[in-house]
Amino acid sequence: MFGKGFMFGFLTLMWLFVMMWSQRSVFLASSTQAGARPGVVVQAAEQLPLPNRMISETVLRATGIAPDAMAALEETTGDAPESSSSRRGPAPAVEVATVDGPPPPAESGAVRYPGIRHVYIDAGANWANTLRLYEDIAGEGHGKATYEVYAFEANPYIATYVDSFARWLNRGGSKPPILIPPAGSQGHLMMLADRYGCDSTNGWKHVVACMQEVFRKPLSLLPLNISLRARSLISERLAEAAKPLHPLATQSRYTLVPAGVDGKAGILPVSKERAREVLITGGNPLGQGGEQLHIPLVNFVEWICKHFSEQDYVVLKMDAESAEHSILTQLIKLNKFGLLDVLAFECHPKVSKKCARLEKQVAQAAMMTGSRVLMENNALSASYQGLDFYSTPDKYFAVDPRTR
């Protein structure tokens, strides 16, 4: 009843159907096992043999992908778009290291806040024992972000050490040895005293005399990098703030500015001998007698207002031997206190009797801007320890010179 031509056509159609079905089954099984994304499905479908277009369209329909969406799916990456976020906004997205990019540093956690520049300013870096304080005091997970860190230190002996320490943090050298107790205050020195046989229960004067004797030789041999006093170098370091980190950077950048801070530029005359003594006794290195060092003072207010904005996330720690008065009052008068997301500072009532007034002004400004204010070891308000996580006395101390 049917001609040979009809039978041949019928058999050919059946053969095509069987081939299509077998290719579809193999493809779907392999795609399911691999957990492929739609973009991967399209790519595999286009590579199928015989007859390419017909089988591709069949597979696409079976997987719920319309043939006319093929081009769009090929361009898709499957990555969700980054949502916009304010600097005090929601929790961040965790950055995943890619094959062709450097892995994030183990210590950072590599957290990214899209579009936000993170800045930490350590005005009074001391022995680098607050250089990573932002990890402890930054809010809402911001401590795990990648930061631009700017450290200011006026004491030339300490600045020499911090310069090497910053180079180490930037992975540009070895960690410098700490030769004397890295005390940032009298309290810190007392916590270190017993380690060297200087009984802290005997009081402050005994501890100072004992520690001076134990570290007499290392103190006299402390290096002093004179080149750090060059104005051209200081200007170059300050200008680093005009070069924000790349948004995809996975390593924080540390910059030492070997200068003091103030509300205006100037020169701070420092006794070279006194600058060495205060490394044990604490206090201000100002004093007459002997060789004088002329330490540049940076107009901190001008610098911070020029390089940063309220869209940035800025953490400022300030321990600047009374310079906090001129700096903070100027920021408030200029309506620039809002630059600061977190302010951690120590006022020095022994140096100035204006601390109560300054603290009140700062508290009022913080209420207006939403900034968070921390006072060092202050029982009456939000407080912070004057050391970062890495620099507590059990982790960060000098080797007893008598055992070397």
Q: Could you give the CA distance from residue 382 to residue 374 in angstroms, rounded to a whole number?
A: 5
Give the model confidence (pLDDT) of 335-348 as tens digits. Answer: 999 999 999 998 87
Instruction: Report which of residues 310 and 2 the model is more confident about.
Output: 310
* Averaged pLDDT, 199-216: 95
Nearest to 45 by CA among 16, 18, 66, 17: 66
Give the model confidence (pLDDT) of 50-95 as tens digits. Answer: 344 443 443 333 333 344 433 433 333 333 333 334 555 543 333 3
Q: Which two tokens stand for residue 376?
A: 């060092």
> CB–CB of 351/321 below 8 Å?
yes
pLDDT band at 17 (very low <50, low <70, confident <90, very high): low
Q: Token match 């904005």: residue?
A: 309
pLDDT of residue 3: 57
pLDDT of residue 72: 38
Mean pLDDT, the chain, integer:
78
Instruction: Report which of residues 225 and 4 the model is more confident about.
Output: 225
Mean pLDDT is lowest, of 91-100, 108-117, 281-290, for 91-100
Q: Token match 């003594």: residue?
A: 277
Residues 6+ apart with CB under 8 A from 74: 39, 42, 43
Give the model confidence (pLDDT) of 294-331 as tens digits. Answer: 999 999 999 999 999 999 999 999 998 789 999 999 99
Mean pLDDT is lowest, of 107-116, 268-277, 377-386, for 107-116
pLDDT band at 179 (very low <50, low <70, confident <90, very high): very high
pLDDT of residue 291: 85
> CB–CB of 294/98 below 8 Å?
no
pLDDT of residue 162: 98
Q: Could you give the CA distance from residue 131 to residue 388 in angstroms, rounded to a whole number?
A: 7
Q: Could you give the CA distance from residue 88 to residue 187 in angstroms, rounded to a whole number?
A: 33
Give the model confidence (pLDDT) of 233-276 as tens digits. Answer: 999 999 999 999 998 899 999 999 999 999 999 998 888 888 88
Residues 6+ apart with CB under 8 A from 205: none
Give the model confidence (pLDDT) of 209-221 as tens digits. Answer: 999 999 999 999 9
Measure CA 352 to chain center: 32
* Averaged pLDDT, 279-306: 85
CA dihedral (15, 17, 18, 23) in degrees, to 10, reads 120
Q: Could you give the CA distance from residue 102 to residue 128 in angstroms, rounded to a whole number?
A: 26
pLDDT band at 147 (very low <50, low <70, confident <90, very high): very high
**Strand, coil or helix: what is 5?**
helix
* Averaged pLDDT, 108-117: 68
> CB–CB of 115/84 below 8 Å?
yes
CA angle (331, 334, 335) in 5-degree steps: 85
Mean pLDDT is lowest, of 119-133, 194-208, 379-393, for 379-393
Q: Token match 């109560």: residue?
A: 356
A 10 A CB-CB count for 13 gives: 10
> Which DSSP state fits 37?
-
Q: Token match 């809002």: residue?
A: 338
Nearest to 140 by CA among 90, 83, 82, 95: 90
Q: Could you give the CA distance from residue 148 to residue 162 in angstroms, rounded to a whole number?
A: 16
Is pLDDT of 107 > 70? Answer: no
Using left for φ > 0, alpha for ψ between -120 and 50, and beta otherwise, residue 78 falls in left
pLDDT of residue 63: 34
Side-chain half-sphere of 221: how many Cα atoms within 13 Å? 9
